[in-house]
Amino acid sequence: MLEAVQRMHGVITVDELKAREQGHYVVVDMRVSVNPRLSVWEGHEISKRIKHQLMKQYHHVTDVTIHVIPYDAGYPYKPGNETDVGELPTVIH
C-alpha cells in the first residue's frame, strides 16, 4: 500500500500510514507531503486520487483519510528525498 501511494503523481513522501481493522474491513489514515507551491484545491485533488486508487486496489479498505501537508526539505526525511522544491511539478502552471 505504501509503495502504491509513493508512486502516485504529486506525492513527494508518505510521512505516516496507519491501517486498522474495523470488523471485516480496514480503515486507512495517512499523511502525505506535496509540493508546497500547490494550491489547496490541487492538494485536495491529489488526496482524492489516492483515496480512489487505494479503495479500488484494496477491496477490504472501506475508508481512507488523507492529511496533505507541504513538503519541508528541512524535515528529516529518509535519504534519497533531496528534491529541490523548485523542480516539483504543479497541476496548474
CATH code: domain of residue 52: 3.30.70.1350
22 located within any domain: yes
Q: Is residue 11 part of a domain?
A: yes
- 37-76: per-residue pLDDT in tens? 999 999 999 999 999 999 999 999 999 999 999 998 776 6
Any idea which of 2-6, 63-67, 73-77, 88-92 has the lowest mean pLDDT? 88-92
Pairwise CA distance, residues 69 & 32, whole Å: 6
The pTM of the full predicted model, rounded to 2 decimals, is 0.74
- 93 inside domain: no
CA of 47: how far to CAs of 5, 8, 75, 89, in Å?
A: 10, 10, 21, 16
* Domain that residue 27 falls in: 2-74
CA-angle at 16, arms to 79 and 69, nearest 5°: 85
Residue 21 lies in a domain: yes
The count of structural domains within the chain is: 1
* CA separation for the pair 15, 78 (Å, rounded): 10
- Residue 87 domain-assigned (yes or no): no
